[in-house]
Amino acid sequence: MTLTVIQALASHWRTHRLQLATLLIGLALATGLWSAVQAINAEARASYDRAADQLALGRFDGLHNPAGPIPLSRYVELRRAGWQVAAVLEGQLRVQGQTLRVLGVDMVAYPALPAVTQIEQSGTPPDPADMLTAPGRLLTTPVLKPLLAGQTGLPPILISDALPPDLILTDIGVAETLLKKPGEISHLIILPDQPGSIPPLSTIAPELERVPAQEQLDTAQLTDSFHLNLSAFGLLSFAVGLFIVHGTVGLAFAQRRGMIRTLRALGVSMRRLVWLIMAELSMLAIVGGILGLVLGFFLAGALLPDVAASLRGLYGVPVSGQISLQPQWALSGLAMALGGTFLASGHALYRLSRMPILSGAGLQAWRSAASGSWVVALAGVAAIAGGILTLLLFGGLVAGFVMVAGLLVGSALVLPYALSRVLILFQRSAKGPIAQWVWSDMRAQLPGLSLALMALLLALAANIGVGTMVSSFRLTFTGWLDQRLTSELYVTAATDQQGQDIADWLNPQVDAILPIRSVELAHSSGPLFLYGIIDDQTYREKWPLISSSERVWNRVHDGSAVLINEQLARRENLWPGDTLAITSADTLTIAGVYSDYGNPTGQAIVSMSQLDRIAPGAEARRFGIRVAPDRATDLAQALRNQFDLPRRAVVQQAAMKAQSMQVFEKTFVVTSALNILTLGVAGFAILTSLLTLWTQRLPQIAPIWALGLTRAELARLELLRSVLLAALTALLALPLGLALAWALLTIINVEAFGWRLPMYLFPIDWVYLLGLTLLAATVAAALPAARLLRLPPADLLKVFANER
């Protein structure tokens, strides 16, 4: 019997192939966009995990000095007291314009690292003593070999593929020399199996803090907000795709009510029918899910290089630029397809299961559905209020996303009611009978179209919100670049001595030479980059201060104050008037806070003399050169010729800005792509809803045709109806999109990236989006309208046939 019932149920799809295709496409789109995001996230996280495993990070508790580096003497004292600790020195090394991470570890005490083991077990293992004694060895990946091979003064290189792609691993003694940090230790790791009778930390090294392994800030934590952002967009796309599934399954169930009644009359129990329909839905979900996974795999492959560039640009995190099929995101995609299908079909399945055997096959009356919309609208208002309340009560990134989700979902739920009220107003003001019918008919169609319109609202709001955020960011970023990149030329010398020679040579020829010198310090808030500046009008006039106290520049240059970047200010809640402990011995008043987009780490600026006092020996190889803009190109070439500098060692302002803008644009490629795809899915949802409603439209259209309107006029009205509903939805999406932009700019960005941006409005973009929406609605309605135009009168007459 089961097989017979399955055959009967499946026969529906044979005769409704377009419906089947729509359902599978809806599922594939929903799963595809979600899976693409998950694949990207999984690949990035796999990269972080690989790096953590390769460096044994996050496995051991650590000892940190909140005030700065740990002196060598303290390390020795701890070892002598019996503490089993291993020293780590971290820093950055610039090689041919590229910044590389250097990790110096105590090769004797540090736990065995896969890269070291790999080299020791290779065919030609190095003498262990060579690793520890001068000049030492540098372990790095094959990727960096060509870059390092051409450098003079570096120790011999050993290659291992068990290292992150941007890292140089070496003994701590070698790292001290490379990083010019003699006697410094960034932090200590506490090895397992400590002796039982060691003195407590509070007596032997009270200034050090023990940080448990799970609390150490790792890359995955650092980039969590970025991945959460991506996941939120993936979920939005998934939800929009589910609207298609909901609409299609709803229609299929409505059309099969007659068949279900017959099957039940023939003795098939409702329980068996529900199980078989659930099995059928599962099959469809798996097929659609697999199609979605294939789509997601290729989409992720196309997007990953840009995401990798974003992560490198924003967080300095290397991510492999190739996608690989990983079971966890494939399974998550299939689970989402299955879960989503049942979520989207649950209501229809429930109604079917409760259908009395003698009930008619009629479709839901429009007015009863419409009258219920105020309940749905109330639920929407509650969702919005709940989101806002969550943010007010808890704050933080997750609460920010809850608020955004509440705003979006709530507004979507309010939409049918809001549209209904607007349509009533139009209907009341309509004069002619056709106008009156069109407005009332649009209202009558709302229940059938509301899901598609909700999807459109979400897609449009996301477009407006994210578009406003990105454009505001772009405008701010461009202005900020103009303020930050004021020098006409940027020069990087190979050595400090060459830097001095270049400065001497340039001095009589240029308006000003602005040294760019910095050191990386260990700070309680994380790595802190301390910069020194000379007193120059350029800074006083251009530097992008977002908050400052009186005489800010005078106080910095007399050595009594410091400037900090916005990220550090927001993270530590430090503002002008507060103090910053740069090291345990150097605490300065904060005189100003400056914007510093695209940089995840804390930064502080002091006068050059202060820098030399706090961190003597900071590299002096980079300069900004102020010169008349029309001389910049010639001077750049002259510099290269004079000092035999490679092309990238002398960069003009325009090239620097272009490079920065390129990183900026790449950062938003993924969100923009997801935005466009979501809008496309929403357009497809409208098409499927209109096709879904098609069978119900004829009884409503035929009487109007019989009363004297032509099919061409009716087809035009069908197009107009769809365009008007899309236009009204777009108008309602505008305030929602702006609210979303405000939330992204003032809540999500601040929490996720540490900077707050001003919000600008871009009405031309809205007009463009409205045009795109109307076009999508016209295209979606074109097929049903064309069908109507070509519909034989005999089909319309069937509506009036008494024996039908």
Partner 1 sequence: MLLTFDRVQKSYPGGRPVLRDVSLSLDRGQTLALTGESGSGKSTMLNLAAALDIVDSGEITLDGVALSQLDDPGRAALRRTSLSLVFQQFNLIPSLTAGQNLSFHARLAGCHDPDWCAHLAQRLGLSDLLDRYPENLSGGQQQRVAIGRAMAARPKLLLADEPTGNLDETASATVLDLMLALVADTGAALLLVTHSHEIAARLDRRVHLAGGQIA
Q: Is 425 in the site for partner 1 (CB under 8 A)?
A: no
- According to CB under 8 A, which one of 443, 517, 621, 697 is a site residue for partner 1? 443
Residue 718 CB, nearest distance to partner 1 (Å)?
Answer: 15
Q: Smaller CB distance to partner 1: residue 439 or 543?
A: 439
Examine residue 378 and tell whether it contacts partner 1 (CB under 8 A). Answer: no
Which sign does the torsion angle of CA 149, 154, 156, 159 carry? negative
Question: How many angstroms separate the CA atoms of 571 and 754, rounded?
Answer: 7
Closest CA to 186 of 298, 77, 70: 70
Q: Which residues contact residue 618 at a Cβ distance below 8 angstroms, ignoring those fewer than 6 apart? A: 517, 518, 519, 532, 611, 612
**Segment lying near partner 1 (by CB under 8 A), choices 437-445, 465-473, 521-529, 715-723:** 437-445
Q: Which is nearer to partner 1, 15 or 802 (CB)?
A: 802
The CB density around residue 244, as the number of other CB atoms within 10 Å, is 30
Distance of CA 780 to the CA centre of its chain: 30
Applying CB under 8 A, which part among 59-67, 427-435, 560-568, 760-768 lies near partner 1?
A: 427-435
Q: Which is nearer to partner 1, 443 or 484 (CB)?
A: 443
Work out whether 798 is an interface residue with partner 1 (CB under 8 A). Answer: no
Binder among 182, 360, 433, 577 for partner 1 (CB under 8 A): 433
Q: How far is the CB of 705 from partner 1 (least distance, A)?
A: 8
Q: Checking DSSP bridges between strand 512-523 and strand 650-652, what pairing results, if any?
A: unpaired
Selected from 375, 767, 775, 797, the binder of partner 1 by CB under 8 A is: 797
Closest contact distance (angstroms) between CB of 254 and partner 1 is 17
Draw the binding track, 15-44, toward partner 1 (x: CB under 8 A; -: no contact). ------------------------------
Tokens, residue 61: 């508790």
Segment near partner 1 (CB under 8 A); pick from 69-77, 434-442, 545-553, 731-739: 434-442
DSSP bridge partners of 580: 588
Q: Which is nearer to partner 1, 299 or 796 (CB)?
A: 796
Q: Which of 129, 149, 764, 794 binds partner 1 (CB under 8 A)?
A: 794
Of 221 and 371, nearer to partner 1 (C-beta) is 371
258 versus 703: smaller Cβ distance to partner 1:
703
CB of 735 to partner 1, least distance (A): 28
Q: How far is Cα 705 from Cα 487, in angstroms, rounded to an integer?
A: 73
SS3 87: strand
The residue among 349 and 724 lying less far from partner 1, judged by its C-beta, is: 724
Q: Least distance in Å: CB of 284 to partner 1?
A: 33
Q: Does 793 bind partner 1 (CB under 8 A)?
A: yes
- Closer residue to partner 1 (CB): 389 or 709: 709
Is the previous residue joined to 135 through a cis bond, with omega within 30 degrees of 0?
Answer: yes
Q: Are the C-beta atoms of 223 and 43 separated by less than 8 Å?
A: no
Distances (CA, A) of 655 to 92, 287, 481: 24, 49, 12
Measured distance CA(300)–CA(290) in Å, rounded: 15
597 vs 705 by CB, closer to partner 1: 705
Query: Does residue 662 belong to the site contacting partner 1 (CB under 8 A)?
Result: no
Report the distance separating Cα 595 and Cα 441, nearest Å: 54
Quick check: 800 binds partner 1 (CB under 8 A)?
yes
Stretch that binds partner 1, among 316-324, 432-440, 476-484, 575-583 (CB under 8 A): 432-440
Report how many helices (DSSP H) and strands (DSSP E) the chain contains, helices first: 29, 20
Measure Cα distances from 272 to 181, 252, 349, 350, 668 in Å: 75, 18, 13, 14, 50
Q: Which is nearer to partner 1, 609 or 710 (CB)?
A: 710
Amino acid sitting at position 690: L
Compute the least distance from the CB of residue 674 to partner 1, in Å: 37
| Binding region for partner 1 (CB under 8 A) out of 53-61, 309-317, 440-448, 500-508 | 440-448
Interaction of residue 287 with partner 1, rule CB under 8 A: no
Q: How many CB atoms lie within 10 A of CB 82?
A: 13
Which of the stretches 275-283, 663-671, 737-745, 791-799 binds partner 1 when contact is defined by CB under 8 A?
791-799
- The beta-strand segments (E) located in 348-410 are none
Choose between 703 and 758: whose C-beta lies nearer to partner 1: 703
The DSSP H or E segment spanning 761 is none
What tokens does 245 get?
A: 């599934």
441 near partner 1 (CB under 8 A): yes
**For partner 1, which is the closer residue by CB, 441 or 520?**
441
Nearer to partner 1, 398 or 430 (CB): 430
Which residues from 356-375 bind partner 1, rule CB under 8 A?
Answer: 365-367
For residue 796, the minimal CB distance to partner 1 (Å) is 8
CA pseudo-torsion sign 598, 603, 605, 611: negative
Is 440 or 746 the residue whose CB approaches partner 1 more closely? 440
Preceding omega of 206 cis (within 30 degrees of 0)? no
Between 3 and 707, name the residue whose CB sits nearer to partner 1.
707
Give the span between the Cα atoms of 8 and 783, in whole angstroms: 29
Stretch near partner 1 under the rule CB under 8 A, chosen from 228-236, 429-437, 468-476, 509-517: 429-437
Shortest Å, Cβ 436 to partner 1: 7
125 vs 703, which CB is nearer to partner 1? 703
- Residue 802 touches partner 1, criterion: CB under 8 A: yes
Contacts 24+ apart (CB under 8 A), 496-502: 496/619, 496/620, 496/621, 498/621, 498/643, 499/620, 499/621, 499/622, 499/623, 500/620, 501/643, 502/623, 502/639, 502/643
Residue in 217, 302, 434, 676 binding partner 1, rule: CB under 8 A: 434
Of 746, 490, 742, 749, nearest in space to 597 by CA: 749
Q: What are phi and psi of 527, to 5 degrees?
A: -60, 140
State whether residue 587 is helix, strand or coil: strand
Read off the tokens for 109: 């005490």
803 binds partner 1 (CB under 8 A): yes
CA 569: distance to chain centroid? 23
Enumerate residues 674-713 that contact partner 1 by CB under 8 A: 699-700, 702-713
Residue whose token pair is 């490629």: 669
Report, in Å, the least distance between residue 352 CB and partner 1. Answer: 23
C-alpha distances (whole Å) from 735 to each of 42, 455, 465, 766 are 35, 16, 9, 11
User: How many residues make contact with partner 1 (CB under 8 A)?
Assistant: 35
User: Which residue reads 């995401």 in tokens?
Assistant: 307
CB-based contact 571:525 (threshold 8 Å): yes
CA distances from 105 to 12, 113, 118 (A): 68, 10, 17
Distance CA 479, CA 548 (A): 19
Q: Tell the smallest beta-carbon distance from residue 371 to partner 1 (Å).
A: 11
Cα–Cα distance for residue pair 339/328, rounded to 1 Å: 16
Alpha helices in 395-495 (DSSP H): 396-429, 433-484
Q: Is 429 in the site for partner 1 (CB under 8 A)?
A: no
Residue 429 beta carbon to partner 1: minimum distance, rounded to whole angstroms: 14
In angstroms, what is the minimal distance from the CB of 769 to partner 1? 30
The residue within the footprint of partner 1, chosen from 436, 524, 547, 746 (CB under 8 A), is: 436
For partner 1, the closer of residues 656 and 791 by Cβ is: 791
Query: Under a CB-based contact definition with an 8 Å cutoff, are residues 92 and 167 in contact?
Result: no
Instruction: Decide if 465 contacts 516 (C-beta within 8 A).
Output: no
Binding of residue 500 to partner 1 (CB under 8 A): no
Residues lying near partner 1 in the complex (CB under 8 A): 365-367, 432-434, 436-437, 440-441, 443-444, 699-700, 702-713, 793-794, 796-797, 799-803
